[in-house]
Amino acid sequence: MSGRPLAILGARLLDPASGLDVRGGLLVVDGRIADLGPHLGRDGLPEGAEVLEAAGLCLAPGLVDLRVMVGEPGAEHKERMDSAVAAAAAGGVTAFAMRPDTDPALDDPAMLEFVARRARKLRSVKVHPWAALTRGCRGERLAEMGLLREAGAVGFTDGARAVADARLMYRALAYATALDAPVVQHPEEPRLAEGGVMNEGWTALRLGLPGIPACAEVVMIERDLRLAEATGGRIHFAGISTAESVAVIRRAKARGVRVTCDVTPHHLLLTEREVEGYRTYAKVSPPLRGEADREALVAGLADGTVDAVTSDHTPQDQDSKRLPFEQAAFGVVGVETLLAAGLELVHAGRIGLLRLLEAVSTMPARLLGVEGGRLARGAPADLVLFDPEVRWTVTEAGLHSLAKNTPFEGRTFRGRVVRTLVDGRTVFRLATTAEDAATGAAL
């Protein structure tokens, strides 16, 4: 990689990995961070360096999203690779892990290579594929885990489908241990959740909608924690939603189980009340829960029980969402609002800014075993420059995703991505003038 060095000056440097929070600059040479700190620029810069004046904006490691659904292959009308990476870049995400439950599923090395090739051609956000845990993500037979790991899989999961067979999960955790790879479980016991469309409780009764009990989640978590203990495997629970799940995982961590978990911004900010009016954009899996559950998730994020915040970006077309609530598809888009939604908790004083950045960059990169999530000499220059104070309103028209099923439509957030860089290249710049808007914000 070659090109002019880039110096970003006058930024608030934020590195959750080291606790750095200082005004200074950062130098990029050949796609990597060459130097950073308050001293940068005092003794001059490399000849021919491009200079970007940050004017006090926050400069942090680019976000790493653990779970993004892309419509390729099989559902390109919902989200293509190009629209997914454009939405990610607009949200400050410099790398994401792609879910494998596509059609066909990412259950053989050729499919992983297809994903890698499509992402490389775009020269934008880095895409790391999850491999299917079972063939076709059907939960019946294990996929060729060794070959998939060699082909570049960051780990194994059946995406939004829980692995119900305990013996199969036991074997998967044992094999994954030998491969030093995580196994990700959708924490929902299928038979208990069968037919449910929202959180079980008074709101569901009043609306006449079948509910999904909270115990469906914790039953699956308890089972898989026992299996992880027995095998020594790494188990990760995707998108936990209940207070009891937080408590159970906290206790498991205390006794040394190799367990991690994540939560979504919509579960941190919203509750089952969003379903009022049969609003299908609030139909997600696991479902939005009650206020006590939401509070427990926030507390778990603050104390480190919850390791990461993940968009669980699940694009759906209008025909899949504009249906009676029981028939509508599950899922919301969220990669573009991941940082902005998380900043709501920072502004409310519930978590610190470095803790948020750790949860959306450092920890996800560590869980995936990929570079990123830190500002340090030699690290890739995957960066996000953001204004933590500017206010903006989410609109369907303003989203870069091909799908528009956001639960935050019409919500005003405080904090917005201004620029996203991958290996030192600008892949997104916020349009601030009419000329910018006309030519497009992505550079």
Kindly report, residue by residue over 383-431, the tens digit of the pLDDT. 999 999 999 999 999 999 999 999 999 999 999 999 999 999 999 999 8
Which residues are marked as active site?
Answer: 312
**Please, where are the H alpha helices in 26-165?**
81-90, 109-122, 145-150
pLDDT tens by residue, 265-293: 999 999 999 999 999 999 999 999 999 99
pLDDT at 440 over 80: no
Amino acid at 46: P
User: Could you tell me if 21 and 130 lie in one domain?
Assistant: no
**Side chain identity at 113, as an amino acid letter?**
E
- Name the amino acid, one letter, at 273: R
Question: pLDDT at position 299, please?
Answer: 98
The pLDDT score that the predictor gives to residue 42 is 86
* Domain span holding position 41: 6-59+379-390+413-439
Overall average pLDDT of the 144-157 stretch: 98
| Domain shared by 42 and 76, yes or no | no
Q: Are residues 183 and 54 in the same domain?
A: no
Q: Specify the CATH number for the domain of residue 321.
A: 3.20.20.140
**To which H or E segment does residue 228 belong?**
helix 215-231
Please state, rounded to an integer, the average pLDDT across all residues of the chain. Answer: 95
Domain annotation covers residue 421: yes
> Same domain for 30 and 77?
no
pLDDT at 10 over 70: yes
* Domain shared by 34 and 93, yes or no: no
Beta bridge partners of 428: 420
Provide the sign of the torsion angle of the four alpha carbons 35, 38, 44, 50, taken in this order. positive
406 within 8 A of 399, measured Cβ to Cβ: yes
Looking at the fold, whether 80 and 55 belong to one and the same domain comes out as: no
Say if 406 falls within a structural domain.
no
Instruction: Give the pLDDT band (50/70/90) at residue 432.
Output: confident
Within-domain flag for 398 = no
Question: Do 196 and 288 fall into the same domain?
Answer: yes
Query: Is residue 231 located within the same domain as residue 92?
Result: yes
Clarify whether residues 247 and 146 are in a common domain.
yes
Number of domain units in the chain: 2
- The per-residue pLDDT for range 201-225, each reduced to its tens digit, is 999 999 999 999 999 999 999 999 9
The predicted structure's pLDDT at residue 441:
37
Evaluate the CA torsion angle 188, 190, 192, 195 in order and state its sign. positive
Helices and strands counted in the chain (H then E): 15, 19
Residue 104: asked if its preceding bond is cis (omega within 30°), the reply is yes
Answer for the pair 293, 315: CB distance below 8 angstroms, yes or no. no
- Would you say residue 297 lies in a domain? yes
Q: Is residue 403 part of a domain?
A: no
The answer as to whether 191 is a domain residue is: yes
Give tens-digit pLDDT for 294-321: 999 999 999 999 999 999 999 999 999 9
Residue 15 shares a structural domain with residue 49: yes
Peptide bond into 73 cis (omega under 30): yes
Structure tokens at 1: 């990689």
What tens digit of pLDDT does each residue of 220-270 get?
999 999 999 999 999 999 999 999 999 999 999 999 999 999 999 999 999
Structure tokens belonging to residue 417? 């991505």
Q: Are residues 280 and 421 in the same domain?
A: no
The string of pLDDT tens digits covering residues 326-354 is 999 999 999 999 999 999 999 999 999 99
Asked whether residue 32 falls in the same domain as residue 135, the answer is: no
Residue 442 pLDDT more than 50?
Answer: no
Backbone angles phi, psi at 417, to 5 degrees: -70, 130
Say what the pLDDT of residue 2 is. 57
Taking only the tens place, the pLDDT of each residue in 69-104 is 999 999 999 999 999 999 999 999 999 999 999 999
Strand, coil or helix: 229: helix
CATH number at residue 17: 2.30.40.10
Residue 32 lies in a domain: yes
Strands (E), 188-326: 198-199, 211-212, 235-237, 259-263, 308-309
Whether residue 399 is contained in a domain is answered as no
pTM for this one? 0.96
